[in-house]
Amino acid sequence: MPVPRQPEGTTSGADRQDLRADCGNCFGLCCVALPFAASADFAIDKPAGTPCPNLLADSRCGIHSQLREKGFSGCTVYECFGAGQKISQVTFGGRDWREHPGTAAQMFAVLPVMRQLHELCWYLEEALAQSRARSIHAELRAALRTTEELTLDGADELIGMDVAGHRAEVNGLLLRTSELVRADVAGRKKNRRGADLIGAKLRKADLRGANLRGALLIAADLSNADLRSADLIGADFRDADLRGADLTDCIFLTQSQLNAAKGDAATRIPATLARPVHW
């Protein structure tokens, strides 16, 4: 049954449910459309457009509860932000690519575009939740409405969309949001935007209000670090140690980033995200 089209300018509210993966309403798109190579993240090679051998006929994963043990940790990190079910149930009206093979190539081509649009919706929803960015809420709401309307375009329009151009426009608003949020943090705030911090020793570091946009924090030691009000959009947290770290009021952190990191029961995370099961 197709998901009803939402009114313009609306999402799921505080829990952003429509911006979270709902595999039960998706036709296993990420398991088919996306390629992966044998590595620490994936046990085998798989080209784009070819179903993963673990994908079952009902679009479920045959090793879902054992992905990490079976060498597919990369699958546990990926987050489509609800793009999979939007494409399956709205863009293609509930037509499964297996039963309608003529739709497959187009459906798979739409996935990366829809995922980017849904990711932008996630960031815009978060920006609107920031009281310190109230002065630009009208602009943020307008950008959210526009982005949501784009997600309802047809497959041809989505494939031909200048999604990079739209991201650039939205990013300007997200940058302004970041500056407004971080302006209230006392003291000198670190600017490590895009910095190479691979393996950095940042245990107990005071990173409140820091700009860590796009920073490479792969395998960095951030245990017991204070990341409140830090801008973490696009930061690479693969294998970063977040045990005991405080991320409660950080901005633009996603579930995928958390899933890629290492944490524990003492790691404090934003209320909108879930503690990864492997922590």
Work out the pLDDT band at 2, boundaries 50, 70, 90. very low
CA distance 47 to 247: 36
Summary mean pLDDT of the chain: 93
- DSSP calls for 251-278: BS--HHHHHHSB--TT-B--TTS---TT
pLDDT one-digit tens code per residue, 122-161: 999 999 999 999 999 999 999 999 999 999 999 999 999 9
Tell me the three state secondary structure of residue 9.
Answer: coil
pLDDT one-digit tens code per residue, 154-173: 999 999 999 999 999 999 99
Residue-range domains of the chain with CATH:
17-34+78-181 (no CATH), 189-279 (2.160.20.80)
Q: What is the pLDDT of residue 16?
A: 84
Over range 83-91, report the average pLDDT: 98
**Which residues lie below 8 Å from residue 58, measured CB to CB, with a gap of 6+?**
none
Over range 64-80, report the average pLDDT: 94
Q: What is the pLDDT of residue 192?
A: 95
Work out the pLDDT band at 188, boundaries 50, 70, 90. confident
Is 11's pLDDT higher than 80? no
Count the Cβ atoms, other than its own, within 10 Å of residue 66: 12
pLDDT one-digit tens code per residue, 204-232: 999 999 999 999 999 999 999 999 999 99
* 18 contacts 117 by C-beta, under 8 angstroms: no
